[in-house]
Structure 1
């Protein structure tokens, strides 16, 4: 029974870097891992690739032959992969005893609007009996802009509803979170996704965003009403940060209960952790990567 991760997220969110770093991390802890590149636009791979979609279809060839742009070409490539799903199954056959990392394209429409990528994933889960978790990476610096943060929330929610998989949203590059400016609130405001009405005050301070305040209010209510979206954090260069994320993924897809690690009881103790671990971990991440330690309540504006 193969286990693995569907690694998705907007362009520049760090998907390929994540697959590269995680494969090294798994090598250190003795977990056999295979990275599968399903991004036909990713022609520079830092990791050793077990399966590469470019053996089946190349984006450059598709764009040239069918006179398509990058977005249309990616949709075509995913359609082609769906129609040739047996090729992927045959390529994955030698890696049934490996933990699989699927590096998908960054075009968000593939995971919110189109069904081709979803159908490929559904085939793996329902017919091949793969145990997969979607790891959705979002660049942490988006938190510094309330409008972009709301956009990230909507994208995360839409992706969760579309894919229908165990799903973990990740604020990647957390070590660079304040590179675009200091955050308005403490980090747990952005990871827990609660009390979003406080964002309206900060949107009103920007003349460009103020006129969309009512729309933003309604969008935030949609996110809160679903109650599905929250985030964990990741610095791929920090082994402790990577391990925290691996624990979450292993519990979500059932890997922690599979016994593959050998001493399952010892591994479960590591993965379980204290019940209030998320609170202390978020506080530790803020202390490590963010300037100051302002009280969240005093930093929130007055909602209206």
Structure 2
């Protein structure tokens, strides 16, 4: 029975780096792994993809031939992949809305899927951005209806953007986000006095109409997030085997791999071999320096 990670995340969140590092980690632990590039716009990969949809449809060519923009081109590419799924099925066989349809077809082929949703950890240093990315993660979980592992990537680079308002576990466990609402009117820690931001909290006084609407919007988002109470994050530094192993262990449990008895020692025992790194341990290692 094949298992698969569906790696998602906004631009710049580290998806390509994650796939490269995860491939090397699993291979080093004697796990069979194949990387499938489902991004028709990502033509420069740091690894050799076992299956690359850009061989079937390329965003640049679609934009040029059909006179489409980047977003319209991507929608067309995903529609094209969905309609021509036989091509992808044949490629996968050789390895032993449209996105939702593609994932459903993969499940019909017998793949046990787990979504890995990456978010750049630097968003934790900005209250409104963090609320937004939590909402994005929740939207993905509800829309795709698959086991989800949400990851804060590039955890080692977070300190470059300023100090956190709270300890790291506040963000990984997505604790009471209402504490962040009181910080919406404060400038970013990493922002210089001479820099100008176009966000409402910087362009208007806290009691202005625009700032009040901005706050009410964030309050509504927090209400939705807390009503579902589904989102939490695992911190990741892709060159740190301990953080990778925590993510792999969570994926193995979410996909059901850990319960199959297949390569059981690799799936479970090594989780303890790397030690149980908690959020405070990771904060001390990467942030409190």
The TM-score with structure 2 as length reference comes to 0.88
Q: State the SS of the aligned residue for 1:177.
A: helix
Matching residue within 267, 272, 278 for 1:281: 278
Structure 2 match to 1:58: 58
**C-alpha displacement of 1:269:** 4.1
1:117 matches 2:99: yes
8 Å contact from structure 1 (residues 194, 224) kept in 2: no
How many residues are treated as equivalent by the alignment?
267
Taking structure 1 as reference, are residues 41 and 266 closer, same or farther at Cα in structure 2, changes over 3 Å only?
Answer: closer
1:138 matches 2:119: yes
Q: State the SS of the aligned residue for 2:116.
A: strand
Structure 2 match to 1:235: 237
Structure 2 match to 1:214: 216
Is there any run of 5+ residues in structure 2 with no aligned partner, and where? Answer: 188-198
Is there any run of 5+ residues in structure 1 with no aligned partner, and where? Answer: 97-114, 293-304
Matching residue within 185, 188, 193 for 2:166: 185
8 Å contact from structure 2 (residues 40, 59) kept in 1: yes
Pairwise mapping of residues 246-257 of structure 1 onto structure 2 (< 5 A)?
246-257=248-259
Q: What RMSD over aligned residues (CA atoms) do the two structures have, in Å?
A: 1.8
Taking structure 1 as reference, are residues 266 and 61 closer, same or farther at Cα in structure 2, changes over 3 Å only?
Answer: closer
Query: Cα deviations across residues 225-255 of structure 1 (Å, max 9, x unaligned)?
Result: 1001111110001111111110000010011
Pairwise mapping of residues 80-229 of structure 1 onto structure 2 (< 5 A)?
80-96=80-96, 115-125=97-107, 127-206=108-187, 208-209=200-201, 210=206, 211=211, 212-229=214-231
Partners of 2:266 and 2:14 lie apart in 1 by: 31
Partners of 2:266 and 2:57 lie apart in 1 by: 44
Pairwise mapping of residues 31-50 of structure 1 onto structure 2 (< 5 A)?
31-50=31-50
Structure 2 match to 1:107: none
Taking structure 1 as reference, are residues 271 and 257 closer, same or farther at Cα in structure 2, changes over 3 Å only?
Answer: farther
